[in-house]
């Protein structure tokens, strides 16, 4: 059971990493604070930055046209890895981070090769997690022959990410038997119906493949047959089908192909993509602009990751002595210090009850000895009232004394406390430009804690998990932990 408890806290930290919230907001029809992050493993190449900017500029114009003169991209932040060369034009991160980015640029994920995709495992109308592009997609111009113009591809993925609409093609079922006419006919899975092209089968022998026209068995084409659309056809629909040069609209209720066996029909109950988009908050909060182009060009801010500075702010008030909470807190902090925080980062420890005190000044993690030294500073006694703001203030002071600023720093707050005075330091938190990660350890933890996460960071409530520790036997506990892991991994890549 002790192993299970440790895994619960490890999952709590992982949930803080996974449960992201987009910083994008709509300001007078323009999307502000779109965050693009380059993975630290990507080799330095200035063209990645330049091509990303050009892609989003083009996407802004295309989006404006696709949404019938409503929406465009107003401001974008690009996070550059700290492993890349420093540049005076790069600003320091504040509350932005790689794990909260809307768009990530990273090497291919498993079988996706250079396919752009949006991680989306929620339902129709629900927002996605992030958009993924590979460096090669951005650098290799010949890939436009495969995927289409980059700005158009970005808008396609943005529709997945922002509005929760889905693809109108299907790689699994590229053809279907249409019953709309008097005689049944084989149609390509598309929107609208009637897209022209040819059915092609790759006839392979060893490493050599030769394309040929698919065989027809009287009902459908042979298994393995794919549809190659005619790129010269003059159809204005649809953004969520393929990025054909003539496409300038989403399928609406008049042009929607409700028969097609695609994800849009399956998940959105045969509703057209444009109908779904029109029901979004973005459309309710925007108006048609009487102009042929967006009212302003997209602006870009380049940010670079700095050395990580983290203060562990730990609750040692009297209520932490109940239900082994202080021991659980120590376990969580040990996991963070031994397994989560990276070499080269700076970490300090603050405890709070009625007041706050510094247990370990900010120091650099250089080896396991440095980690062990910090673990020895973790609290063992709990008493007094709960003053979360005192802990937050002391954490900021600890960071500022070493780093000269709290901008871009982090606080990991572990507490069970119900503190009615949290609102008194919300302005301080907002002005700090720091990120606060909150783990609530008890059932009475103040709902105000969630306001910290909305302002800056992440919130993980462990109450249900902790209840599982005492309610279930080991076998059931391991079943639960396995289920949690499957839920994280069983995501739909689109």
Catalytic residues: 157
Within 8 A by CB and 6+ apart from 470, the residues are none
DSSP sequence for 119-146: E--S-TT---SEEEE-HHHHH-GGGHHH
Burial of residue 339 (number of CB atoms within 10 Å: 0-12, 13-18, 19+): exposed
Helices (H), 310-387: 325-335, 368-375
The partner residues of 91 in beta bridges, in order of sequence, read 303
Peptide bond into 238 cis (omega under 30): yes
Report helix, strand or coil for 208: strand
Residue indicated by tokens 């996706």: 112
Cα-flanking dihedrals φ and ψ of residue 445, to 5°?
Answer: -55, 135
Judging by DSSP bridges, how do beta strands 72-73 and 30-32 pair with one another? Answer: parallel
- Give the CA count within 13 Å in the CB-facing half-sphere of 311: 33
Q: Are 116 and 133 in contact (CB under 8 A)?
A: yes
- Measured CA to CA, the distance from residue 10 to residue 4 in angstroms comes to 10
Q: What is the CA radius of gyration of the chain?
A: 26
Most distant CA pair in the chain: distance in Å? 81
Place of tokens 């794919």: 226
């Amino acid at each position: 059971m002790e192993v299970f408890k440790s895994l619960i806290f490890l999952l709590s930290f992982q949930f803080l990493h996974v449960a992201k919230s987009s910083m994008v907001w709509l300001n007078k029809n323009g999307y502000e604070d779109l965050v693009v992050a380059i993975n630290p493993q990507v080799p330095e190449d200035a063209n990645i930055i330049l091509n990303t900017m050009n892609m989003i500029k083009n996407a802004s114009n295309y989006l404006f046209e696709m949404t019938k003169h409503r929406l465009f991209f107003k401001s974008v932040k690009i996070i550059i890895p700290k492993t890349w060369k420093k540049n005076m034009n790069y600003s320091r991160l504040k509350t932005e981070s790689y794990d909260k980015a809307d768009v990530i640029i990273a090497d291919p994920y498993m079988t996706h090769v250079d396919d752009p995709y949006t991680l989306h495992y929620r339902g129709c109308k629900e927002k996605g997690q992030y958009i993924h592009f590979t460096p090669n997609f951005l650098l290799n111009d010949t890939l436009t022959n495969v995927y289409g113009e980059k700005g158009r591809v970005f808008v396609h993925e943005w529709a997945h990410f922002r509005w929760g609409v889905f693809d109108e093609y299907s790689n699994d079922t590229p053809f279907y038997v249409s019953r709309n006419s008097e005689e049944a006919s084989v149609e390509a899975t598309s929107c609208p119906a009637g897209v022209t092209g040819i059915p092609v089968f790759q006839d392979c022998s060893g490493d050599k493949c030769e394309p040929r026209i698919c065989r027809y068995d009287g009902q459908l084409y042979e298994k393995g047959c794919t549809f190659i659309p005619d790129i010269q056809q003059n159809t204005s629909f649809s953004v969520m089908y393929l990025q054909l040069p003539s496409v300038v609209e989403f399928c609406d209720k008049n042009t929607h192909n409700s028969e097609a066996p695609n994800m849009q029909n399956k998940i959105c109950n045969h509703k057209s993509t444009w109908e779904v988009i029109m029901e979004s908050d973005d459309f309710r909060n925007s108006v048609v602009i009487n102009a042929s182009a967006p009212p302003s060009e997209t602006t870009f801010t380049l940010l670079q990751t700095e050395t990580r500075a983290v203060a562990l702010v730990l609750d040692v008030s009297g209520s932490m002595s109940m239900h082994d909470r202080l021991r659980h807190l120590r376990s969580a902090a040990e996991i963070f210090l031994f397994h989560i925080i990276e070499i080269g980062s700076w970490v300090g420890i603050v405890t709070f009850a009625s007041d706050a005190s510094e247990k370990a000044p900010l120091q650099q993690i250089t080896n396991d000895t440095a980690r062990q030294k910090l673990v020895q500073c973790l609290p063992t006694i709990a008493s007094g009232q709960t003053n979360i703001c005192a802990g937050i203030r002391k954490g900021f002071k600890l960071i500022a004394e070493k780093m000269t600023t709290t901008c871009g720093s982090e606080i990991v707050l572990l507490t069970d406390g119900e503190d009615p005075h949290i609102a008194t330091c919300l302005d301080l938190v907002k002005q700090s430009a720091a990120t606060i990660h909150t783990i609530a350890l008890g059932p009475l933890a103040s709902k105000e804690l969630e306001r910290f996460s909305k302002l800056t960071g992440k919130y993980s409530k462990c109450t249900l998990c902790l209840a599982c520790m005492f309610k279930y036997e080991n076998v059931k506990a391991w079943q639960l932990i396995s289920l949690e892991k499957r839920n994280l991994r069983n995501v739909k890549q689109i």
